[in-house]
Structures are given as C-alpha cells and as structure tokens.
Structure 1
Amino acid sequence: MSEVFGFFVLLTFLACVFAWASSSVLLPFCIRHARRWGSLDRPNPRKLHQMPTPRLGGLGISPTIWFACAMALFAVDRVGPRLDLPAYWNPMLVGLLLGSGGMFLIGLLDDLKSMSASRKLLGQALVAAVVIAFLPIPQSIMGIELPQSLSLFLIFGWLLVVPNAINLMDGIDGLTSGMLLVFLLTASVLAVAGQQSLLLMISLPLAVTIISFLRFNWAPAKIFLGDSGSLSLGFVVAYLSLGVSFQSNSPGGHPQNWSLWISLLLVSVWLADTSIAVARRYLSKAPRLKIFLKRSKITYFLLHQAAIRNIVRPDCRHLHHLALRSGFSVKSTVFLISASLLSIHFSLLGFWLFAQSETKNFVAANLLPSLLICSSAVIFLQIVDQVRKKRSLEPSKEIPGIGASGPERKEVA
C-alpha cells in the first residue's frame, strides 16, 4: 500500500510541476502574441479595465486540466485493480477531459471571433449532453429517490449553469481566479477527507496553475481568463463539485446519493450572483399582469419575450460592481468576495469533518471555527475600513476611480 501511496504522490507532484512550468511559459507567450491574434479585450462603457488586455488565459491553463486527467487515467490503469477503484472512474475522467476540452474550444472561438449568446449556449448544451453519458447517475438526491430522467436533467442543468455563472462573474482583475483558488483548495481538502485521490490529482495541480496565473491576472491585469479559461475551468468546478458530493454505500460501489447541499455550498457565491442577475434582468422588462388582463394578449406575449431576451444582456450590477460603487477598490473587492466564499467553505468543511469520528473532536470543534472567525474578521475589517475612508472624505468629493455610474474609464483609440 505504501508503494501505491508513493505512486500517487509522485504523479500528483509531476502534475503540479507541469502546471507551474506550462503556465509560466504559455501565459507570457499569449500576452506577447495576443495583439497579432486579435484576442484583445478592449475597454467599453460596461467594462472596468482601461487598456486593451489579452484574453487568452485559458490557453495557458487548460493544458494542466488535460495533463492532470491523463495522469489520473494512467493511475487508474496502473493501480486501479489493486485499490479496487470503482469502475465508473475511467469514464468520469474521460468525461472531464472531453467536457473541459469542448468548453475550451467554445470559449476560444468566442475569444477570437465573438459568438452570439444563443450559439454559445447551444454548444455548451451539446457538450453537457455528451459528457453526462460518462457520469454515474445517483439513485437519490439528498436522500430523496427521484426518477432517473429527473436526475439526468438536474445534472445536465448543473453542468450548464455553473460554468456560465463563473463566466458571468469574471468582471474584475483577480476575482474569478481568486475564487477558483479557494474552491480548488477546498475540493482538495474534501478529496483527502473522502479518500478520493484521483480528484486530488486534478484539483491540486489546477490550484498551482491558478496561483501561477494570479501573477499575471492580479490588478492591474496583464491577461484575462477569457471565455476559453472561465468556461473550461467553470466546467471543472461543476464536475468536481459533483465528484466530491457523490456518496455510495460501499467504498467501491456505484454512487447512491448526490449530496446536493455540498455542491451548492461549494459554488454558492457564483450561483447567488447569477440567480439575482437573471431575476433582475427579467423583472426589469417583465410586463405587468394588467397588460394581459386589460390589453392584447399578443402585446403581453411580445413584452414577455423581450424580458426573456434581456436575461442574456450584460449589465453593471453584479456583486463586484456593487462593491466597487460602494467605494471598495478592485483588490479589496477581490479579498472581500473571496473571503466570503472561504467562510462558506470553512462551514462546509466543518460539517463534513464533524461527521468523521476521527477528526470531529479537534478539527471541527477547534480549528475550523477559528478559521471561520478569522475569515469573517477579514470581511468585517474590510467593511469597517471602507466606512472609515468614506467618512473621512469631504461631501463634495467622490472616491477616486468610482463615480455614481461606475469606475472612471479612458477612451482607447
């Protein structure tokens, strides 16, 4: 068994080395050649950056996903029989490889040649429909037995919604990469606690890649994730959040239950922001019921269709936009939102580890609450500091860089 453990450690270490080396080479390469490739994200009244910025960060990150999947498949082939790994691991890893690759290609096409929202959504739906064939379908969700068709629909929706939620929140320097780092580190801890070494071989190298990417994505950013990065990484987030929440009655058995609450907590901030955005955009254009009762039903139907179309139209009222308008700087906003996600993840880890009899006395009762208090203190101090700064300003002055309608921008020819 010690040989098998050493084998997993070696493969994980090699994947981490590859992650750092490949991103350190590919990201500067993309930055240098972005203008020639026509993949610059240019400022406009809705965007917050002031200079044209390369947006092919996914090109420097996605190879780590594929290499980590290849290492995990190699591990299954070499030591899978000795560990009595479930038979569904092979197709799951293949599904992750295909799904992340498909999302990367869709995002890359949008980065190089802008695609309409409907075409992107159709492509993502096709990818999710293909990948779901490689996933084991649990018999129940949160202990409630459901028809297999309904379980398939929910997992399909999960693979479609989560990547887009992460893509929608990719609005300021370092925000998405910072939140992804929090998620991947939490997924790594859950993988260790659940003895899911194959998931650890994927989440840990990706965390190393994100740390490398943050060197170039921290404000002021030299490169953005772009759709190629946010969609492919978003798919990995959706996939890993499923993998760590599937439960089986036996160590090597088929997953019997999907602990949906674990998946929801892992991506809670992204889903909350997206849900509010969808409701806000729809309700801002939704016709009132009196139009249906007192006017033409055709008019009501047309206005209703316009409200639905408005859902995919971008705006400047996401969570990070509101924080910036409240006076927080870009870096403070990243810290604030990432710390919020970290607090939720600490709570999740506390509940998870409390169920483990070996660790509940020390970890759940001492370490995790302490970390939760520390992260909450960070959020509180950020808010207090911002309130203090706002009170110190003269009434006639505005916070530098943030006006009533958003950050200051410079026109770029």
Structure 2
Amino acid sequence: MSISPQIIHLLCLGGIAFVVTYLCVPLAKRIAFKFNAIDYPSARRVNKTPMPRMGGIAMFMGVMAALIFELVGEVVFDWHELYRSARFLQVNYVGVLAGLTVVCLVGAIDDVKSLKPRMKLLGQIVGACIIVASGVLLASIKNPFAPGFIEFGWFAYPLTVFYLVAFMNVINLVDGLDGLAAGITAIASFALFMIAIGKFRAETAMFAIVLLGATLAFLRYNFAPASIFMGDSGSLFLGAMLGVISLLGVIRSPTIVVLAASLIIAAIPIMDTFVAIVRRLKNHQPIQQADAKHLHHKLLREGFTPRKSVLIVYAWTAFLALGAYMISNTSGVKVFLVFLLLAVVSFAVLLKLGIFEPVLRHHYSKRSPRAVRRANEPLKGEGRGETAGESKKENR
C-alpha cells in the first residue's frame, strides 16, 4: 500500500520537530543552569544532583521550527494546503503561533522567577486570548440530537479561553514523574493524528504530528532516569497545543469527534485535576497548594516504581486513545457502548487507587484501617513525588 504525498509531507514536518527538539535539549539545559531554573535536591525530592527544568524550550523550538517551515513553504513554494484550510477555517496561523509563544514564555518566566499564581494565570489567559483572536474559536458544535449546529454566540470567546487555560493546567498538574506528561501528550498526539487523517483534517493532523515529534524527542532525555525536566515552559505549552489541536478539529466541522476524542484521551489528567481541586477546596487550601495525592502518588504507594507507574499510565492512556479512535469510526449504539466501557474501566481503577476519596469519603471510610493508612502514608521510594509546578518555591 503506497503512502500519499500528503502523509509523507506531514511525516517530514514531524521529523523536523523531532530533530530540532533533540538538538535543542542541551541548549535548554545550559539556559536553565544560566538562569538558575533548577530543581535542587531536597527532603521532598530524590534527584541527587541539580536538575534543569526548562526542557519546554526545546519542544517549543522543535514545534515552531516545523510550523514556521510549513508557513514559509506556503509562501515560497506555493504548497497551498495550509492556506486553503486557513481560509476555510478563518484561522490566522501566525497569530496562533504568537499565542503559543506567549504561553511558553509565561512558563519559562515561572521556571526562573516562580510567578505568583494570579500573574501566571493572567499570562495563560493572555496567550489563550491571542489564540482565540486568531480564529481558533469553539463557536459552534454539531447538535447530536437534531440537525444543524448549536451556536454559542458571544459566549464562545470566554468558553474557548477557559478551555485552553484548563488544558494548560491539566497537563501542568500531571507533570509529576519523569516522562509522564510528555508520554501522555505523545500518545494523545498520535491518536489525534490518526483520527484527523481519517477525517481529512490536514491542519489538525499537521499540528498533531509536529507535537508528536517534539515530545518523542524530549522523552529521550526526560524518561526515567531523566536528565532534564520540562518545567512549566513545557507543560503549559503542551497543554495549549493539545487544546489547539482539538479545537482545530471541530471548527466548522460536521462532527465533534476530535473534540470528544481529545477529552477522552486526556481523561486521566482531567479527572486527577478535578479531584485535586475538590480535595483542596474541601480542605480549605488554595487550588495551587502542593500535595502528594495525585494519581502517580497513589501508584507509588501501591508499591510500583516510578518507571512502572509511568508505564501503567501510558498503557491506560493508550487504552483510552484506542477507544477514542474506535468512537471516531463508529456510530449509533456502538459509540455509547465503547464510551461506557472506557468509563467503567477507568472509574474502577480510579476507585481502587482511592483517587475519589475527597468526594466519596463515605465509601472509603468502610475500607480496612490498613487500606486507609496505606492511602495516606508518606511517599516512599523513588519519584519526584510532586508536580514540578507545585514544588518550585520550596526547592529554590
């Protein structure tokens, strides 16, 4: 079976992102050491040497190199593909890249200076607003119950900004073990690429394959034992990219499958983030307050090593991605059955690990005292034991 020229073109763009990211990681390390964006060894960390945390710069450079190459090629070589979709979708891709740049820059400043939560959130909102103003807007979705579309009107603007900022923080909060956030993003990108190819959404496929190339290259340095952390410059950027990819898949589309698939694939960090927010509100703590009760902490308490914990989440994410792909290629009652299977299996695993303890306290009160102690005992063994974004201030 021959591969179409369009697929080859997209794979080349992914290759550019991979190579540039791979080559830029050493540069990102030097920048991190120069500006003291370092995670130093402490009682709450296991890294025995200072660890740079600005790996996001390398992924940003890889993604930007590939996308700028495509934009220049559109002008110089008249490739047409991207500009055709841009006119159809009414998207200004230069503006999208500018918004993504702002997001990465905010994360990089936070890696160095540890911004106050409000300032950090404001920066994320500014980046999201630029992306929205560039045409990446959830203005409508197909009505699943009747012909036509559901129009959001003016509410589409704050809704889309909230959606993008939420994706940024979901990936930021899940970045707690070596290779975890980058791996989840890589799996999600590959699945969204395959779905976009099947739906003939060239622009969505392009952003997905470029993100896949960058994250795979970064994993060479970030998978346990890591030699560099992505920091907020990476986690916020990856979250923004995933948000943009999912929105590009739904703009003026007769289906919402890419948007739905994105939410399904990201269900693990989304649920972990939701429960973390509930947990901290119930304990009268700030939402950004650090704790050791995230999903990866639960896996460590179950006795898994950091590497095995990450691989378990990888496998779980791949399971959800496969389900999302099946949903994108089925219809009718089969969609409901696949979704139900994904939901039941995921809920059962999360329930077993005790993730829902803040919202299902009555259920967990019936567990044995040993199980309760195990769910709340301090972390032992390896692993960073906290999200990079939550712990920087203690480590500086």
TM (norm. structure 2) is 0.77
- How far, CA to CA, are the matches of 2:158 and 2:199 in structure 1? 26
- How far, CA to CA, are the matches of 2:327 and 2:37 in structure 1? 44
Deviations, residues 218-253 of structure 1 (Å, cap 9, x unaligned):
11110011111111111001111222234535xxxx
Q: What is the root-mean-square deviation of aligned Cα atoms in Å?
A: 3.7
Q: CA deviation at 1:45?
A: 4.3
AA in 1 matched with 2:104: F
Out of 288, 291, 306, which is 1:312 matched to?
Answer: 288
AA in 2 matched with 1:169: V
Percentage of matched positions with identical amino acids: 26
Is the Cα–Cα contact under 8 Å of residues 19 and 62 in structure 2 kept in the other structure?
Answer: no
Deviations, residues 32-79 of structure 1 (Å, cap 9, x unaligned):
564333121123444454432111101211012212322443465524
Q: Which secondary structure does the structure 2 equivalent of 1:67 belong to?
A: helix
Q: CA deviation at 1:211?
A: 1.7
AA in 2 matched with 1:62: F
| Match of residue 128 from structure 1 | 128
- Give 1:275-286 correspondences, 5 Å limit: 275-285=274-284
- Cα distance change on mapping 1:95 and 1:169 into 2, 3 Å: same
- How far, CA to CA, are the matches of 2:58 and 2:317 in structure 1? 25
| Match of residue 239 from structure 2 | 234
| Match of residue 148 from structure 1 | 153
Is the Cα–Cα contact under 8 Å of residues 68 and 202 in structure 1 kept in the other structure?
Answer: no
| Match of residue 340 from structure 1 | 316
- Cα distance change on mapping 1:158 and 1:141 into 2, 3 Å: farther
AA in 1 matched with 2:208: S
- Give 1:180-191 correspondences, 5 Å limit: 180-191=185-196
Deviations, residues 297-319 of structure 1 (Å, cap 9, x unaligned):
xxxxxxxxxx5xx1121111111
- Cα distance change on mapping 1:190 and 1:72 into 2, 3 Å: farther
| Match of residue 289 from structure 1 | none
Greater Rg, structure 1 or structure 2?
1
- How far, CA to CA, are the matches of 1:354 and 1:162 in structure 2? 26
- Cα distance change on mapping 1:208 and 1:230 into 2, 3 Å: same
- Give 1:159-308 correspondences, 5 Å limit: 159-249=164-254, 260-285=259-284, 307=285
Q: CA deviation at 1:91?
A: 2.5
Q: CA deviation at 1:199?
A: 2.4
- How far, CA to CA, are the matches of 2:270 and 2:46 in structure 1? 22
Q: CA deviation at 1:81?
A: 7.6
Is the Cα–Cα contact under 8 Å of residues 35 and 112 in structure 2 kept in the other structure?
Answer: yes
TM (norm. structure 1) is 0.74
AA in 2 matched with 1:240: I
| Match of residue 117 from structure 1 | 117
| Match of residue 407 from structure 1 | 380
Q: CA deviation at 1:262?
A: 3.0
| Match of residue 306 from structure 2 | 330
Q: CA deviation at 1:95?
A: 3.7
Q: Which secondary structure does the structure 2 equivalent of 1:407 belong to?
A: coil
Unaligned stretches of 5+ residues in structure 1: 250-255, 286-306, 384-394
Is the Cα–Cα contact under 8 Å of residues 15 and 64 in structure 1 kept in the other structure?
Answer: no
AA in 2 matched with 1:323: L
Q: Which secondary structure does the structure 2 equivalent of 1:221 belong to?
A: coil
Is the Cα–Cα contact under 8 Å of residues 139 and 251 in structure 2 kept in the other structure?
Answer: yes
Q: Does 1:139 align with 2:140?
A: yes
Q: How many residues align?
A: 348
- Give 1:390-405 correspondences, 5 Å limit: 404-405=377-378
